[in-house]
Amino acid sequence: MQIFHNPVHDKHAGRQEMFRGKLVPCHETPARLEYVLDALRQRGIGELRAPSAPDMDVIKRVHTPRYVDFLASAWQDWVALDPANADIDILPSVWPVRGFRHDIEPTNFAARVGLFSFDSGCPLTAGTWEAATAGAACAIDAARAVTTAGGPRAAMALTRPPGHHAGADFFGGYCFLNNAALAAQALRDAGAARVAILDVDYHHGNGTQSIFYERGDVLTVSIHGDPTTEYPFFLGYADEHGEGAGLGANLNLPLPAGTDFATWTQALQQGLAAIQAFKAEAVVIALGVDTYEGDPISKFKLKSVDYLEVGRALASLGLPTVFTMEGGYAVADVGINVANVLEGYGG
Protein backbone atom coordinates (compact mmCIF):
# COMPACT_ATOMS: atom_id res chain seq x y z
CA MET A 1 0.00 0.00 0.00
CA GLN A 2 1.38 3.38 -1.01
CA ILE A 3 0.24 6.30 1.14
CA PHE A 4 0.31 9.69 -0.58
CA HIS A 5 0.14 12.08 2.34
CA ASN A 6 -0.47 15.77 2.02
CA PRO A 7 2.52 17.55 3.56
CA VAL A 8 0.73 20.92 3.58
CA HIS A 9 -2.66 19.76 4.87
CA ASP A 10 -2.22 21.89 8.00
CA LYS A 11 -2.29 25.09 5.91
CA HIS A 12 -6.03 24.50 5.94
CA ALA A 13 -6.98 25.14 9.55
CA GLY A 14 -10.36 26.77 9.98
CA ARG A 15 -10.95 28.54 13.24
CA GLN A 16 -14.72 28.39 13.59
CA GLU A 17 -17.79 26.99 11.84
CA MET A 18 -21.37 28.21 12.11
CA PHE A 19 -23.61 25.84 14.07
CA ARG A 20 -27.14 26.75 15.19
CA GLY A 21 -26.45 30.47 15.18
CA LYS A 22 -23.11 30.28 17.00
CA LEU A 23 -19.52 30.16 15.87
CA VAL A 24 -18.02 26.99 17.36
CA PRO A 25 -14.53 25.44 17.02
CA CYS A 26 -14.01 23.45 13.81
CA HIS A 27 -14.32 19.66 14.01
CA GLU A 28 -12.17 19.16 10.91
CA THR A 29 -8.71 19.87 12.38
CA PRO A 30 -5.10 19.20 11.33
CA ALA A 31 -4.63 16.89 14.35
CA ARG A 32 -6.92 14.32 12.70
CA LEU A 33 -4.36 13.52 10.03
CA GLU A 34 -1.43 13.48 12.43
CA TYR A 35 -3.15 10.73 14.43
CA VAL A 36 -3.53 8.66 11.26
CA LEU A 37 0.12 9.16 10.29
CA ASP A 38 1.22 8.17 13.82
CA ALA A 39 -0.92 5.01 13.81
CA LEU A 40 0.36 3.94 10.37
CA ARG A 41 3.99 4.57 11.37
CA GLN A 42 3.59 2.67 14.66
CA ARG A 43 2.16 -0.38 12.93
CA GLY A 44 4.42 -0.19 9.90
CA ILE A 45 1.48 0.04 7.49
CA GLY A 46 2.11 1.48 4.02
CA GLU A 47 4.95 3.32 2.33
CA LEU A 48 4.70 7.09 2.66
CA ARG A 49 5.01 9.20 -0.48
CA ALA A 50 4.78 12.94 -1.06
CA PRO A 51 2.52 14.03 -3.93
CA SER A 52 3.68 15.49 -7.23
CA ALA A 53 2.44 18.88 -8.46
CA PRO A 54 -1.37 18.94 -8.89
CA ASP A 55 -2.59 18.16 -12.41
CA MET A 56 -4.85 21.16 -13.04
CA ASP A 57 -6.13 19.55 -16.21
CA VAL A 58 -7.75 16.67 -14.29
CA ILE A 59 -9.01 19.06 -11.61
CA LYS A 60 -10.67 21.24 -14.27
CA ARG A 61 -12.44 18.26 -15.83
CA VAL A 62 -14.04 17.26 -12.49
CA HIS A 63 -14.64 20.84 -11.31
CA THR A 64 -15.73 23.76 -13.48
CA PRO A 65 -12.91 26.10 -14.49
CA ARG A 66 -14.99 29.00 -13.11
CA TYR A 67 -15.15 27.36 -9.65
CA VAL A 68 -11.45 26.47 -9.72
CA ASP A 69 -10.60 30.09 -10.58
CA PHE A 70 -12.86 31.30 -7.75
CA LEU A 71 -11.13 29.03 -5.20
CA ALA A 72 -7.65 29.94 -6.42
CA SER A 73 -8.20 33.67 -5.87
CA ALA A 74 -10.80 33.67 -3.06
CA TRP A 75 -8.35 34.51 -0.29
CA GLN A 76 -6.67 37.38 -2.20
CA ASP A 77 -10.11 38.76 -3.13
CA TRP A 78 -11.23 38.56 0.50
CA VAL A 79 -8.18 40.39 1.84
CA ALA A 80 -8.48 42.98 -0.96
CA LEU A 81 -11.89 43.91 0.46
CA ASP A 82 -10.26 44.91 3.76
CA PRO A 83 -6.69 44.20 4.97
CA ALA A 84 -8.16 43.33 8.39
CA ASN A 85 -9.78 40.28 6.76
CA ALA A 86 -6.37 38.58 6.80
CA ASP A 87 -7.19 37.44 10.35
CA ILE A 88 -10.75 36.29 9.61
CA ASP A 89 -11.82 33.10 7.81
CA ILE A 90 -14.32 33.28 4.96
CA LEU A 91 -17.79 31.89 5.78
CA PRO A 92 -20.66 32.10 3.30
CA SER A 93 -23.79 33.95 4.33
CA VAL A 94 -26.06 34.24 1.28
CA TRP A 95 -27.10 31.66 -1.32
CA PRO A 96 -29.06 31.74 -4.61
CA VAL A 97 -31.85 29.30 -3.73
CA ARG A 98 -34.96 28.47 -5.83
CA GLY A 99 -36.02 31.29 -8.10
CA PHE A 100 -32.71 33.15 -8.11
CA ARG A 101 -30.50 33.40 -11.19
CA HIS A 102 -27.59 31.01 -11.57
CA ASP A 103 -26.46 32.32 -14.96
CA ILE A 104 -24.82 35.46 -13.58
CA GLU A 105 -21.80 35.95 -11.34
CA PRO A 106 -22.13 39.09 -9.20
CA THR A 107 -18.89 40.93 -8.49
CA ASN A 108 -19.73 41.34 -4.80
CA PHE A 109 -17.47 38.91 -2.91
CA ALA A 110 -20.11 37.65 -0.45
CA ALA A 111 -22.39 36.87 -3.39
CA ARG A 112 -19.65 34.95 -5.21
CA VAL A 113 -18.88 32.90 -2.07
CA GLY A 114 -22.58 32.01 -1.85
CA LEU A 115 -22.76 31.09 -5.54
CA PHE A 116 -19.96 28.54 -5.04
CA SER A 117 -20.99 27.00 -1.68
CA PHE A 118 -23.88 25.36 0.14
CA ASP A 119 -23.38 25.79 3.89
CA SER A 120 -21.95 28.09 6.54
CA GLY A 121 -20.07 25.37 8.41
CA CYS A 122 -17.11 25.30 6.07
CA PRO A 123 -14.55 28.08 6.55
CA LEU A 124 -12.30 28.93 3.60
CA THR A 125 -8.92 30.05 4.95
CA ALA A 126 -5.64 31.58 3.81
CA GLY A 127 -4.15 28.14 3.12
CA THR A 128 -7.21 26.28 1.85
CA TRP A 129 -6.26 26.43 -1.81
CA GLU A 130 -2.71 25.21 -1.22
CA ALA A 131 -3.86 22.36 1.06
CA ALA A 132 -6.77 21.32 -1.15
CA THR A 133 -4.73 21.25 -4.37
CA ALA A 134 -1.95 19.22 -2.71
CA GLY A 135 -4.63 16.81 -1.47
CA ALA A 136 -6.07 16.55 -4.97
CA ALA A 137 -2.57 15.70 -6.19
CA CYS A 138 -2.42 12.88 -3.60
CA ALA A 139 -5.68 11.45 -4.98
CA ILE A 140 -4.55 11.66 -8.62
CA ASP A 141 -1.14 10.17 -7.77
CA ALA A 142 -2.77 7.30 -5.83
CA ALA A 143 -4.94 6.49 -8.86
CA ARG A 144 -1.93 6.56 -11.17
CA ALA A 145 0.05 4.31 -8.77
CA VAL A 146 -2.53 1.50 -8.77
CA THR A 147 -2.85 1.63 -12.57
CA THR A 148 0.91 1.54 -13.20
CA ALA A 149 2.28 -1.84 -14.31
CA GLY A 150 4.08 -3.36 -11.36
CA GLY A 151 2.47 -0.82 -9.02
CA PRO A 152 0.73 -1.54 -5.73
CA ARG A 153 -2.75 -3.10 -5.56
CA ALA A 154 -3.92 -0.27 -3.31
CA ALA A 155 -2.95 3.31 -2.52
CA MET A 156 -4.32 5.93 -0.20
CA ALA A 157 -4.69 9.68 -0.52
CA LEU A 158 -4.12 10.59 3.12
CA THR A 159 -5.23 14.17 3.05
CA ARG A 160 -7.45 16.86 4.41
CA PRO A 161 -9.60 18.84 3.87
CA PRO A 162 -11.90 15.97 2.85
CA GLY A 163 -13.65 16.01 -0.51
CA HIS A 164 -16.88 14.06 -0.89
CA HIS A 165 -19.30 16.95 -0.29
CA ALA A 166 -17.62 19.19 -2.91
CA GLY A 167 -19.46 19.29 -6.23
CA ALA A 168 -18.37 20.36 -9.68
CA ASP A 169 -18.78 24.01 -8.68
CA PHE A 170 -19.36 24.25 -4.95
CA PHE A 171 -17.72 23.72 -1.57
CA GLY A 172 -19.37 22.76 1.72
CA GLY A 173 -19.30 20.12 4.45
CA TYR A 174 -15.58 20.82 5.12
CA CYS A 175 -14.82 19.92 1.45
CA PHE A 176 -13.41 21.99 -1.46
CA LEU A 177 -12.02 19.65 -4.12
CA ASN A 178 -13.55 16.19 -4.52
CA ASN A 179 -10.59 13.88 -4.05
CA ALA A 180 -12.59 10.67 -4.60
CA ALA A 181 -14.03 12.02 -7.86
CA LEU A 182 -10.55 13.12 -8.99
CA ALA A 183 -9.17 9.65 -8.24
CA ALA A 184 -12.03 8.06 -10.21
CA GLN A 185 -11.42 10.38 -13.16
CA ALA A 186 -7.69 9.61 -13.07
CA LEU A 187 -8.48 5.86 -13.01
CA ARG A 188 -10.71 6.33 -16.08
CA ASP A 189 -7.98 8.33 -17.80
CA ALA A 190 -5.50 5.54 -17.04
CA GLY A 191 -7.68 3.06 -18.91
CA ALA A 192 -10.15 1.57 -16.40
CA ALA A 193 -13.37 1.32 -18.48
CA ARG A 194 -15.68 1.33 -15.47
CA VAL A 195 -14.86 2.71 -12.02
CA ALA A 196 -16.87 2.46 -8.81
CA ILE A 197 -16.78 4.86 -5.87
CA LEU A 198 -17.90 3.39 -2.56
CA ASP A 199 -18.46 6.06 0.08
CA VAL A 200 -18.50 4.66 3.63
CA ASP A 201 -18.39 8.03 5.42
CA TYR A 202 -21.30 8.64 7.82
CA HIS A 203 -22.52 11.49 5.62
CA HIS A 204 -23.91 11.09 2.13
CA GLY A 205 -21.32 11.91 -0.56
CA ASN A 206 -23.55 14.44 -2.27
CA GLY A 207 -20.75 16.09 -4.24
CA THR A 208 -19.51 12.81 -5.67
CA GLN A 209 -23.05 11.73 -6.56
CA SER A 210 -23.81 14.98 -8.34
CA ILE A 211 -20.53 14.99 -10.30
CA PHE A 212 -21.23 11.55 -11.80
CA TYR A 213 -25.05 11.56 -11.77
CA GLU A 214 -25.39 11.57 -15.56
CA ARG A 215 -22.38 9.38 -16.30
CA GLY A 216 -22.57 5.65 -16.89
CA ASP A 217 -18.83 5.00 -16.58
CA VAL A 218 -18.60 5.72 -12.84
CA LEU A 219 -20.86 3.93 -10.36
CA THR A 220 -21.41 5.88 -7.14
CA VAL A 221 -22.49 3.99 -3.99
CA SER A 222 -22.92 5.66 -0.60
CA ILE A 223 -23.80 4.14 2.80
CA HIS A 224 -24.80 6.90 5.21
CA GLY A 225 -27.07 8.32 7.89
CA ASP A 226 -30.60 8.85 6.57
CA PRO A 227 -30.66 12.42 5.21
CA THR A 228 -34.16 12.90 6.59
CA THR A 229 -32.36 13.65 9.86
CA GLU A 230 -28.66 13.74 8.93
CA TYR A 231 -26.44 16.17 7.01
CA PRO A 232 -26.45 16.97 4.07
CA PHE A 233 -30.26 16.56 4.28
CA PHE A 234 -31.14 17.46 0.68
CA LEU A 235 -29.59 14.52 -1.19
CA GLY A 236 -28.77 10.89 -0.44
CA TYR A 237 -32.21 9.22 -0.57
CA ALA A 238 -32.76 5.68 -1.79
CA ASP A 239 -34.78 6.77 -4.84
CA GLU A 240 -31.84 8.61 -6.48
CA HIS A 241 -30.70 6.21 -9.21
CA GLY A 242 -28.87 8.48 -11.68
CA GLU A 243 -30.10 10.13 -14.89
CA GLY A 244 -29.56 9.77 -18.64
CA ALA A 245 -26.45 7.69 -19.33
CA GLY A 246 -26.02 7.46 -15.54
CA LEU A 247 -29.41 5.87 -14.87
CA GLY A 248 -28.78 2.85 -12.65
CA ALA A 249 -25.24 3.97 -11.79
CA ASN A 250 -26.04 5.57 -8.42
CA LEU A 251 -26.95 3.62 -5.30
CA ASN A 252 -27.82 5.22 -1.97
CA LEU A 253 -28.06 3.04 1.13
CA PRO A 254 -29.35 5.34 3.90
CA LEU A 255 -29.53 3.83 7.40
CA PRO A 256 -31.20 5.22 10.52
CA ALA A 257 -29.31 6.91 13.34
CA GLY A 258 -28.25 4.27 15.88
CA THR A 259 -27.31 1.67 13.25
CA ASP A 260 -24.75 -0.87 14.55
CA PHE A 261 -22.16 -2.90 12.66
CA ALA A 262 -24.41 -5.95 12.19
CA THR A 263 -26.83 -3.86 10.12
CA TRP A 264 -24.23 -1.58 8.55
CA THR A 265 -22.25 -4.53 7.19
CA GLN A 266 -25.34 -5.82 5.35
CA ALA A 267 -25.48 -2.51 3.48
CA LEU A 268 -21.77 -2.89 2.77
CA GLN A 269 -22.37 -6.31 1.22
CA GLN A 270 -25.16 -4.81 -0.90
CA GLY A 271 -22.79 -2.08 -2.08
CA LEU A 272 -20.05 -4.58 -2.90
CA ALA A 273 -22.52 -6.74 -4.85
CA ALA A 274 -23.54 -3.66 -6.90
CA ILE A 275 -19.88 -2.93 -7.67
CA GLN A 276 -19.37 -6.51 -8.87
CA ALA A 277 -22.55 -6.43 -10.98
CA PHE A 278 -21.32 -3.16 -12.55
CA LYS A 279 -18.08 -4.97 -13.53
CA ALA A 280 -15.95 -2.18 -12.14
CA GLU A 281 -12.30 -2.47 -13.07
CA ALA A 282 -11.11 -0.28 -10.20
CA VAL A 283 -12.64 1.13 -7.04
CA VAL A 284 -12.29 4.29 -4.95
CA ILE A 285 -13.18 4.05 -1.28
CA ALA A 286 -14.23 7.39 0.21
CA LEU A 287 -13.09 6.43 3.68
CA GLY A 288 -14.71 8.32 6.52
CA VAL A 289 -14.52 6.79 9.98
CA ASP A 290 -17.23 8.99 11.47
CA THR A 291 -19.39 5.82 11.56
CA TYR A 292 -17.49 5.17 14.82
CA GLU A 293 -19.52 4.93 18.05
CA GLY A 294 -17.40 7.67 19.63
CA ASP A 295 -17.83 10.21 16.82
CA PRO A 296 -19.01 13.56 18.22
CA ILE A 297 -21.18 14.59 15.22
CA SER A 298 -22.49 11.23 13.95
CA LYS A 299 -24.85 8.50 15.14
CA PHE A 300 -23.75 5.05 13.98
CA LYS A 301 -22.27 2.53 16.42
CA LEU A 302 -19.25 0.93 14.75
CA LYS A 303 -16.47 -0.16 17.10
CA SER A 304 -12.74 0.12 16.38
CA VAL A 305 -12.43 -3.65 15.87
CA ASP A 306 -15.17 -3.55 13.19
CA TYR A 307 -12.91 -1.53 10.87
CA LEU A 308 -10.62 -4.56 10.48
CA GLU A 309 -13.64 -6.42 9.07
CA VAL A 310 -14.46 -3.47 6.79
CA GLY A 311 -10.94 -3.63 5.35
CA ARG A 312 -11.21 -7.40 4.76
CA ALA A 313 -14.56 -6.96 2.98
CA LEU A 314 -13.15 -4.22 0.72
CA ALA A 315 -10.16 -6.40 -0.19
CA SER A 316 -12.56 -9.20 -1.20
CA LEU A 317 -13.46 -7.16 -4.31
CA GLY A 318 -10.01 -8.02 -5.65
CA LEU A 319 -9.80 -4.70 -7.52
CA PRO A 320 -7.16 -1.96 -7.76
CA THR A 321 -8.20 0.31 -4.90
CA VAL A 322 -7.70 3.96 -4.04
CA PHE A 323 -8.68 5.15 -0.56
CA THR A 324 -9.38 8.82 0.03
CA MET A 325 -9.54 10.23 3.56
CA GLU A 326 -12.92 11.75 4.35
CA GLY A 327 -14.48 12.34 7.81
CA GLY A 328 -13.92 11.09 11.37
CA TYR A 329 -13.93 13.52 14.28
CA ALA A 330 -13.25 11.42 17.39
CA VAL A 331 -9.79 12.80 16.82
CA ALA A 332 -7.67 10.48 19.00
CA ASP A 333 -9.37 7.35 17.58
CA VAL A 334 -9.34 8.34 13.90
CA GLY A 335 -5.82 6.92 13.53
CA ILE A 336 -6.71 3.56 15.08
CA ASN A 337 -9.82 3.22 12.95
CA VAL A 338 -8.19 4.15 9.64
CA ALA A 339 -5.18 1.91 10.40
CA ASN A 340 -7.60 -0.94 11.18
CA VAL A 341 -9.26 -0.60 7.75
CA LEU A 342 -5.90 -0.67 5.99
CA GLU A 343 -4.63 -3.55 8.15
CA GLY A 344 -7.80 -5.53 7.47
CA TYR A 345 -7.38 -4.78 3.76
CA GLY A 346 -3.93 -6.34 3.91
CA GLY A 347 -1.58 -3.47 4.69
Residues marked as catalytic: 165
Q: Reply yes or no: is the peptide bond before residue 161 cis, omega within 30 of 0.
A: yes
Residue 286's alpha-carbon distances to 78, 95, 126, 183, in angstroms, are 31, 28, 26, 10
CB of 24 to ligand OKP, least distance (A): 7
Choose which of 55, 169, 230, 290 interacts with ligand OKP (CB under 6 A): 290
CB of 92 to Zn ion, least distance (A): 19
231 touching ligand OKP, by CB under 6 A: yes
**Whole-angstrom Cα distance, residue 134 to residue 156?**
14
Q: Exposed, middle or buried by CB within 10 Å (0-12, 13-18, 19+), for 57?
A: exposed
Q: Which amino acid does the sequence have at 31? A: A
295 touching ligand OKP, by CB under 6 A: no
Choose which of 55, 89, 169, 201 interacts with Zn ion (CB under 5 A): 201
Choose which of 89, 141, 290, 295 interacts with Zn ion (CB under 5 A): 290
- CB of 291 within 8 A of CB of 264? yes
- CB of 287 within 8 A of CB of 326? yes
121 binds, among Zn ion, ligand OKP, none (CB under 5 to 8 A by kind): ligand OKP
Q: What is the dihedral of CA 279, 248, 241, 171, to 10 degrees?
A: 50
163 touching Zn ion, by CB under 5 A: no
Choose which of 288, 320, 335, 344 interacts with Zn ion (CB under 5 A): 288
19 touching ligand OKP, by CB under 6 A: yes
Choose which of 172, 227, 327, 335 interacts with Zn ion (CB under 5 A): 327
# residues contacting ligand OKP (CB under 6 A): 14
Which of 176/278 has CB closer to ligand OKP?
176
Length of the chain: 347
> What count of other Cβ atoms lies within 10 Å of the Cβ of residue 269?
11
Q: Which residues pair with 4 in a beta bridge?
A: 49, 157
Q: What letters, b where the CB count within 10 A reaches 16 and e where it falls short, cover 161-190?
A: bbbbbbbbbbbbbbbbbbbbbbbbbbbbbb
CB of 176 to ligand OKP, least distance (A): 12
Choose which of 288, 311, 335, 344 interacts with ligand OKP (CB under 6 A): 288
CB of 118 to Zn ion, least distance (A): 15
Which of 2/340 has CB closer to ligand OKP?
340
311 touching ligand OKP, by CB under 6 A: no
Which parts of 151-180 interact with ligand OKP (CB under 6 A)?
A: 162, 165, 173-174
231 binds, among ligand OKP, Zn ion, none (CB under 5 to 8 A by kind): ligand OKP
- x/- map, 260-279, ligand OKP, by CB under 6 A: --------------------
Listed in sequence order, the residues at least 6 apart from 75 whose beta carbon sits closer than 8 Å to its beta carbon are 90, 124, 125, 126, 128, 129
CB of 285 to ligand OKP, least distance (A): 14
CB of 82 to ligand OKP, least distance (A): 27
Choose which of 46, 327, 335, 344 interacts with ligand OKP (CB under 6 A): 327
Contacts with ligand OKP by CB under 6 A lie at: 19, 121, 162, 165, 173-174, 201, 203, 231, 288, 290, 297, 326-327
Contacts with Zn ion by CB under 5 A lie at: 201-203, 288, 290, 327
